[in-house]
């Protein structure tokens, strides 16, 4: 195994650990905040102002942080109707490679749009209504997520085309 590949794999493993820990913390915080809000509202008859938006933002961030790791393993929800219609494995491998290429192009385009979106949001200086958090800070997870998904789909696309070519020869 090459030194660069080894470094990349260690970096990716570490990133996965960090994101997994962040997701765990976010889920615990989300659950805790909701429990405190319910207790305060229905037992103490007090509303905790501003915090009602925090679980929503934590959930959005969690979903977008987890998305690249679902893409990495190609475990997103999909329906393989073509396999039911087309019985030729060679053709299916080629179609899978082309579909991954289309997905890669779409995700890469979405990444560019996300970068522009976050830059525009930062320029306007919009903040959340309750906690006054700059929106661009919450939205910046989109840039990370779409970049990582694009990267993983580039790797998956290359792998798919290699498999399709190998299968063809």
Q: Where are the domains of the chain?
A: 3-168
127 SS3 class: strand
Distance between CA atoms of 116 and 111, rounded to whole angstroms? 9
All residues at 6 or more sequence positions from 146 whose CB lies less than 8 Å from its CB, including other chains: 107, 110, 111, 114
DSSP classification of residue 52: G
Rounded to whole angstroms, the Cα distance separating 119 from 140 reads 9
Instruction: For residues 148 and 133, give the distance between their C-alpha atoms in angstroms, rounded to a whole number.
Output: 25
pLDDT digits (tens, 9 = 90+) for 127-148: 988 888 999 999 999 999 999 8
Beta-bridge mates of residue 134: 127
* Residues 102 and 114 sit within 8 Å (Cβ to Cβ): no
Please write the tens of the pLDDT for every residue from 53-70: 888 898 999 999 899 888
Segments of the chain with pLDDT less than 70: 1, 167-169
């Amino acid at each position: 195994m090459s030194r660069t590949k080894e470094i990349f794999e260690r970096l990716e493993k570490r990133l996965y650990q960090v994101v997994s820990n962040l997701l765990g913390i976010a889920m615990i915080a989300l659950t805790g905040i909701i429990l405190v809000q319910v207790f305060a509202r229905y037992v103490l008859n007090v509303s905790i102002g501003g915090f009602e938006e925090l679980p929503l933002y934590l959930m959005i961030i969690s979903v977008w942080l987890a998305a690249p790791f679902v893409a990495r393993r190609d475990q997103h929800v999909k329906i393989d109707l073509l396999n039911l219609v087309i019985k030729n494995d060679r053709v299916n491998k080629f179609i899978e490679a082309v579909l991954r290429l289309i997905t890669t192009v779409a995700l890469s385009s979405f990444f560019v749009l996300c970068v522009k979106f976050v830059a525009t949001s930062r320029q306007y200086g919009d903040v959340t209504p309750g906690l006054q958090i700059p929106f661009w800070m919450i939205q910046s997870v989109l840039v990370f997520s779409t970049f990582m998904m694009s990267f993983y789909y580039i790797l998956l696309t290359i792998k798919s085309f290699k498999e399709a070519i190998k299968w063809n020869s």
